[in-house]
Structure 1
Amino acid sequence: MEETISLKALFQILRKRLWLITLVTIIAAIISAVVSFFVITPVYQTSTQILVNQAKNEQQLYNVGAVQTNVQLISTYNDIIKSPAILDKVISSLSLEKSSELLSEQIQVASSENSQVAQIIVQDTDPKRATEIANTVATVFKKEVPKIMNIDNVSILSKADFATSKSPVKPQPILNIAIALVVGLMVGVGLSFLLEYLDNTIKTEQDIENILELPVMGVITNIKDVPKVTNVQRPDMTARVPQRGETFGS
């Protein structure tokens, strides 16, 4: 027989297990807050911009073909910026105790479509060090790219500013707690339905009808205990038996 459950029954299950849902949700939020504030190391982000642009001569003010060439070169520059040829010099200049592979993971090069401007984004656990890495990468790249590609068309458009990188970009405690609340709520609801599904005890007449598929003919109600009578005076069983010639009361 196919089992069906009504919407009212679902709400009754949730209401009965409301304490469990609330407890799981609160625990999830607390764990997320503790991890976000005290466990995960804050990461700071800063960025600098470089401009890829051919030098203009007096006879040519604007050349669409040159601009398109510069845009196509940006994707090549992205790989060069994160290569050991650039990052090894950055590590040496800043005396960083890490390899070029690890430093490359902290750097991201982004550019808008059909734009000659590339953005060097650096993330680090120290905001000052992140700023120094971003500016040094841009400077070293500008200096080394003419030797690598035999062209000189890179200029630094804006440098990374330490003041703009004082706020960590991750972790984001508020977002993490909000996600934990949603996840905790979902886990609490799922756990409530699981416990209800595993509970095969009979509690009501409706459970008997559903399990045995038989109508209930009668119900024995709970009989309260009869209160005990206390402080009842019992007759005196130790009265003296009258002797011969004596009368009661003498």
Structure 2
Amino acid sequence: MDSHGNKEIEIGKIIKLLIKKSWIIVLFVIVTTGASVIYSNFTKPTPLYQTSASLLIQDSASIINTLQVFIKEPPVMEAVIEELELERSMEGLANQINVQTVQDSQIVKIYAIDSDPYRSAEIANTTAKIFKEQVASTLNFNSIEILYPAVVKENQPPINPESNRLIMFGMVLGGIIGIGFVFLMDSLDNKIRSERDIENLLEIPVLGTVSKYNKKTLTANKEKKVEAYVRGDVSESKTG
């Protein structure tokens, strides 16, 4: 029972301590959250947008797989850069393009990523057009159709939206640091505040306590005693 009671007392003491020093915890949370917001604004990623053009290649799966590799080859990339007057290398443009075959179909999608959504659509559509032309002229293959050109949706969101995880992490970190700081301050505080503190320090039981008196309290008590004494004398004289 004693150990259970001690645990309840300790938990109550911790809760009171955290409530009393809650302003310190709030201060740490504000500081770390503010720092996280500032850092997030300075390291905010450039928004990137993705669009896609769909091609229909009417042939076997093996031919389709062979042809889609040709999409990111230098002849196609060079022609796209020249037509759109892009200021980037063929390798850089190839890194902006991703080609995928829709499963169990003859449809190939050309994805283009760029910081400008409209330029992304231009890259996807121009790549699809030049690929179709060069395959026809180089390989004499004419069974390619552009099914759906790339279009930009209204208010199209970026593929790398801003994340609030860093800000949330800052809030949690501030709370943890604040609570730790409160406990540290309490552990360094050697003031005796209760009978339990005396018992823990001296390792002996407390037999009694003396109420705290100040000069004002002593004067008031003295005046009450004098007044009571005078009243007592007056009462005795009347009786006599």
Check conservation: 1:91, 1:100, Cα contact below 8 A.
Answer: yes
Among candidates 165, 186, 191, match of residue 172 of structure 2? 186
User: What CA distance in whole angstroms lies between the structure 2 residues aligned with 1:172 and 1:155?
Assistant: 33
Give the deviation of 1:129 after TM superposition. Answer: 1.6
Instruction: Map 1:4-153 to 2 at 5 A.
Output: 8=11, 12=15, 15=19, 16-17=21-22, 18-20=25-27, 22-24=29-31, 26-27=33-34, 30-31=37-38, 34-35=41-42, 40-54=45-59, 66=60, 68-69=61-62, 73-74=64-65, 76-146=66-136, 151-153=141-143
With structure 2 as the length reference, what TM-score do the two structures score? Answer: 0.63
User: What CA distance in whole angstroms lies between the structure 2 residues aligned with 1:105 and 1:146?
Assistant: 25
Give the deviation of 1:171 after TM superposition. Answer: 4.7
Check conservation: 1:46, 1:165, Cα contact below 8 A.
Answer: no
Among candidates 153, 156, 161, match of residue 172 of structure 1? 161
Change beyond 3 A, Cα 1:214–1:87: farther
Q: Residue by residue, what CA displacement relative to the aligned partner does 1:105-137 show, whole Å, maximum 9, x if unpaired?
A: 221223332232122111212222212111100
Decide which structure has greater helix share.
2
Change beyond 3 A, Cα 1:153–1:201: same
SS for the counterpart of 2:88 is coil
User: What CA distance in whole angstroms lies between the structure 2 residues aligned with 1:167 and 1:221?
Assistant: 75
Q: Which residue in 2 is equivalent to 1:201? A: 188
Give the deviation of 1:139 after TM superposition. Answer: 0.6
Give the deviation of 1:102 after TM superposition. Answer: 1.3
Query: Unmatched 5+ residue regions in structure 2?
Result: 1-6, 217-240
User: What CA distance in whole angstroms lies between the structure 2 residues aligned with 1:221 and 1:91?
Assistant: 92
Change beyond 3 A, Cα 1:192–1:158: same
Q: Which residue in 2 is equivalent to 1:154? A: 144
SS for the counterpart of 2:177 is helix
User: What CA distance in whole angstroms lies between the structure 2 residues aligned with 1:191 and 1:103?
Assistant: 46
Moved more, 119-128 or 130-139: 119-128
Q: Residue by residue, what CA displacement relative to the aligned partner does 1:214-233 show, whole Å, maximum 9, x if unpaired?
A: 35748999968757xxxxxx
Give the deviation of 1:169 after TM superposition. Answer: 0.6
With structure 1 as the length reference, what TM-score do the two structures score? Answer: 0.61
User: What CA distance in whole angstroms lies between the structure 1 residues aligned with 2:122 and 2:131?
Assistant: 14
SS for the counterpart of 2:188 is coil
Change beyond 3 A, Cα 1:101–1:187: same
Change beyond 3 A, Cα 1:44–1:143: same
Percent identity of equivalent pairs? 29
User: What CA distance in whole angstroms lies between the structure 1 residues aligned with 2:123 and 2:154?
Assistant: 12
